[in-house]
Chains A and B, each alone.
Chain A
């Protein structure tokens, strides 16, 4: 699982645009990996991480090529693409969304593949908040009187 986690973080960096440090800093990495693996199965997750590794290796540090390879190997792949999109959503909003009907029919249906919030703090730890430079509504209060000042959100 530790190796899987490293691979998952490397994939997630590429998918979200946030650093591995920042992703780990949400405290949600293990929960997202467990959630996704539990629903799509170890085989799909392993293939996804291998594809991500292949994309990194063939790009050789070229960012544009890396992106193109990710699109080719993962995002446009019928089996891996929808899972990768769901992982992006999890990181940004903290929820798992049910996979598309076509994917469920082709690759199996997990009873856990339902819309759900991953953990009690996954929503407030969502990357959407630093991405838009705002505090999560109703959480992470900024302190007395701070509403009179512009938000100061640590960037990714």
Chain B
């Protein structure tokens, strides 16, 4: 969707819908990389990736809580919600696309771009993104498939350099609208909130959003867990931000408190880049032979993934108890990931889930 500066509630809803889409858009690439790691190998990398993927689920849920709090309706089932990879991120970052690919240096480099700190906050990270340009500009031709087109004529399109800046814009919009409308901004039904009782030990504190303070707290948690909008490697809870977690894999060493960016001094991280199923990047159903069991398996995965998003949507639309079951569905998906990724395609690569979600 095209985003323009938040001036009304509808604009705020659009941003939060994009936020949910954005948080979700990171999950397939993270999970493809995670499950391409051969079971029993790369345990440290596996845990780093898994923890980040789980936190993206938390962020998605927090974004849904904020949208529900301001009277919006989260819907993860609309066609186009799941991008076809390679895809641009839905916050309008135009200088890179995200691939769904095997655990590799290239995958981690993409993940660093996803989680990159806000521009200006961290001059040190430019070593990895040399030559990029600020992507906040007008009229850039979109050729990704990640976003639903929703153009508002006559308004300036927003493009953000980082997820952190995107959330900053949401926070500013919330404050602006709250100054105008007062607590009427938070008109949503509190019964729609996913509260900690439905969320077990998965990536930190889930909070209900009912007012400006809790909305800001949710945004702060999302931003700081991701890349940080400040230049800190560790966030206010002492937890290492996603960007730096991934960087440890490329640099082969853990960060510890007091380290400078790009120069971790903790113990070594052992990474075996070869202990990986060589899954095809950005695979499509059409890559698998017609009528084959593999194709059926990949289609079954897409149906199961669609069911997972439907269940999550129902959970966000007033049946929060279903959240438990939706998350449980991810554990079943894990089995399907492995079943597909263990299938050689005969050209040196292996099959991978395609995320072509059937509709209707």
Q: Which A residues are closer than 8 A to B by beta carbons?
A: 19-22, 24-27, 120-121, 140-146, 149, 152, 154
Contact = CB atoms under 8 A, between A and B. Distances in A.
Contacts of B331: 140-143, 146
A16 B167 CA distance: 53
Most buried by A among B39, B200, B330: B39
Given A143-B330, A146-B324, A149-B325, A21 B294 contact: yes
Contact of B324 (A20, A27, A141, A145): A145
Contacts, number: 62
Q: What secondary structure prevails in chain A residues at the interface with B?
A: loop
Interface in B310-360: 324-325, 327-328, 330-332, 335-336, 338-340, 342-344
A57 to B, nearest CB: 21
A142 B332 contact: yes
B332 A152 contact: yes
B40 interface: yes
A68 to B, nearest CB: 25
Interface of B is mostly: helix
B127 interface: no
A-B interface, 3 closest residue pairs, ranked by CB to CB distance from nearest? A25-B339, A21-B293, A144-B200
9 contacts: A19-B293, A21-B294, A25-B297, A27-B39, A27-B342, A142-B332, A143-B324, A145-B200, A154-B335
Contacts of A21: 292-294, 296-297, 339, 343
Interface in B39-82: 39-40
A24 B277 CA distance: 13
Contacts of B138: none
Given A24-B339, A145-B328, 10 more contacts: A20-B293, A21-B292, A21-B296, A24-B342, A24-B344, A143-B330, A145-B200, A146-B325, A149-B328, A154-B339
